[in-house]
Amino acid sequence: MSFGEFVRRRHRAGALVVQPRMGFADPDRMRAGLVATRQAAAATVGTITLDSYTRIGDLGAVDHALSAGIGLNGYPIRSHPVATTRAMLHGVVGDDFPVQVRHGSAQPLEIVRAVLRAGLHATEGGPISYCLPYGRIPLSDSVRDWAATCELLASLREAGVEPHLETFGGAMMGQLCPPSQLVAISVLEALFFHRYGVRCVSVSYAQQTNPAQDREAIAALRRLCRELLTGTRWHIVVYAYMGLAPRTPEGARNLLAEAVELAVATGSARLIVKTVAEAHRIPTIAENVAALEHAAAVAGSVAPDVVEGDGGQVYLEAQALVDAVLNCAPEIERAMLSAFKRGLLDVPYCLHPDNAGRSRGYIDADGRLGWADIGSLPLGRIAEGHRRHALSSTSLMRALSYVQRTFDEDALDRRADRPALDSHEGELPGRMSDGHQRHGPRLPI
């Protein structure tokens, strides 16, 4: 059974499928993490998150780290022997527990070759979302490599295997990108996947700063997918908030609970969780399992009444962005490149050389994300109330920490109302329980 079909079946049966961001360099520990995820009291799928050196193709750094006993922040799938990875997966992966590889690479072709050799067929990313925020290679190089990657995955269908690709477009940059552009890029990347033969996809959206606006955004995403993704099986995956995480355990759990409520209320099929440790370090296996089970418990307590809506303002903006891009050229790959060159797509606060860098986002008094400056985005009067002004460094930092402060302050207020606390309750998580430190740039996925 394919990854996408598993998720769709569990969702039709009434479950929200939950998934960790888990990756360990040691095969035994990676296996232990997958086993713990499978055994969690939740409807789960597994994750193998790759290390940052593998992401950028620096296999020499991986080899040095492995030989010197230096920790990595993920699983180096290209460097471990295929037999080692297959042994790690044996008896864990199956039709009742599919596993997705998360990599973060703008040039994933060789990574995906290694994924397929290991017997896995589900991964994620996109030519825009894994190039602009996290890389410096030209966007054209990323588009070319992703096209070859999609063709490689699509070739599996000739052997009766249905590969799955999840667009990261709805989560790129993590914060301060208004929802309409996240929705538009997610849809455009799904169209790119379809153009190169992939027929089973998931479209992503990351929880932002206002629950009502987030519901509107997912309604807009679903509406655009129904209009444009003909001939493709798809489901929606929600990411728990990708920006600065609350430092208090209560705040982190409350933020995750809100993400669960968003996913259930919008009829989304899958949720990628965050843990209480996100603000401090890479989570342990136990903390990942706790987050999965907390999410499942919240999902079970939320009324599953889905009110879709028409996407409102987010739909109007996202549709304008998608239409403008598709009108740039007949082929989606050329259209993407032209749109960025002309500033028709322009990601706020993204420093990539191929990004115009003229658009800006801000958080209004109600916590909604809006456009402070639309630059050359084709929004005109569609973007309600956008205002041209420069954000100061202070206001920018306050916006970046908005969610963290909101949930931590609420948690501390509630704590102050309690008559007493256990001496250990509310302590901030410390170092990793196994004493290891992982080196190298941390993956933003």
- Distance, CA of 194 to chain centre: 19
Q: What is the CA radius of gyration of the chain?
A: 21
Domain range spanning residue 277?
Answer: 3-301
Q: What is the pLDDT of residue 304?
A: 72
Q: What is the pLDDT of residue 225?
A: 98
Report the pLDDT averaged over residues 313-320.
97
d(CA 274, CA 433): 18
Beta strands in 225-339 (DSSP E): 233-239, 270-272
Query: In whole numbers, what is the pLDDT of the chain averaged over residues?
Result: 91
Closest CA to 296 of 256, 241, 247: 256
CB atoms within 10 A of CB 139: 21
- Distance, CA of 304 to chain centre: 23
In a domain, 257, yes or no: yes
Residue burial 246-282, b: 16+ Cβ < 10 Å; e: rest: bbbbbbbbbbbbbbbbbbbbbbbbbbbbbbbbbbbeb
Structure tokens at 48: 């193998």
In a domain, 291, yes or no: yes
Residue 205, beta-bridge partner list: 238
DSSP three-state, residue 147? helix
Residue 244, beta-bridge partner list: none
In a domain, 388, yes or no: no
Split into its structural domains, the chain has a count of: 1
Over residues 202-243, the pLDDT tens digits come to 999 999 999 999 999 999 999 999 999 999 999 999 999 998
CB distance 227 to 245 below 8 Å: no
Structure tokens at 86: 């297959």
DSSP 388: -
Sequence-ordered list of residues with C-beta below 8 angstroms from that of 273, at least 6 positions apart, any chain: 18, 19, 20, 21, 240, 256, 259, 288, 291, 292, 295
Q: What is the pLDDT of residue 424?
A: 40
Which of 11-20, 63-72, 234-243, 382-391 is the least confident region? 382-391
CB distance 254 to 292 below 8 Å: no
pTM here is 0.91
In a domain, 169, yes or no: yes
Domain at 217, CATH number: 3.20.20.240
DSSP 97: B
> How far are the Cα atoms of 148, 285, 381, 388, 431 from residue 288, in angstroms, in the given order?
34, 5, 44, 42, 15
Over residues 372-393, the pLDDT tens digits come to 999 999 998 887 666 666 678 8
